[in-house]
Amino acid sequence: MLDALKRLFSGRQDASSGEMDPEVATAALLVEVALVDGVYANLESDQIAEILLDSLDMDADRVDDVLQQGEDLAENAIGAHQFTKYVKKLPLLKRVKVIEGLYMVSMADGDACKFEDAFIRHVASLLHVDDIRRAQARRRAESRHI
């Protein structure tokens, strides 16, 4: 956290300030929602890998690399906007799948919290996913979780 603040105020550019692959940015958002409650469990990591495979149609080799990059970026993140500006480049239906994925990760540890829900609502608005599509994504995630 302190390093992120130093970079922010020093004006120094790093890899996260340049162009970012929307898939890596998506992975970082998925890791961020897992970190909201302060615990990043293996269940959540496995869920993120599954979401990247299914929702973004990645192959297994790429998933490992993208997930590692997402974890590294999320660890030093200063806000969701630094990732959503790249995820917004995805078509609407993929962005809705990202929101569904965020809900799935928040439920992966069996204990979704109000802070995770607030984070997802915030990300949905930044991704221009309206409340109706967000609610539908939540219901789909809940039905898959049970």
Tokens representing residue 116 in the block: 């995770």
Pick from 112, 13, 27: which is nearest to 75 by CA? Answer: 27
pLDDT at 16 over 50: no
Per residue in 52-104, pLDDT tens?
998 888 888 899 999 999 999 998 888 899 999 999 999 999 999 999 999 99
- Structural domains of the chain, with CATH: 2-9+20-145 (1.10.3680.10)
Q: What is the dihedral of CA 70, 143, 95, 127, to 10 degrees?
A: -90
User: Is 145 exposed, middle or buried, given 0-12, 13-18 or 19+ CB atoms closer than 10 A?
Assistant: middle
pLDDT-derived band of residue 110, with 50, 70 and 90 as boundaries?
confident
User: What's the whole-model pTM score?
Assistant: 0.84
For residue 84, the 8-state DSSP code is H
Question: 74-94 burial string, b = 16+ CB within 10 Å, else e?
Answer: beebeebebbbebbeebeeeb
Place of tokens 């799935």: 104
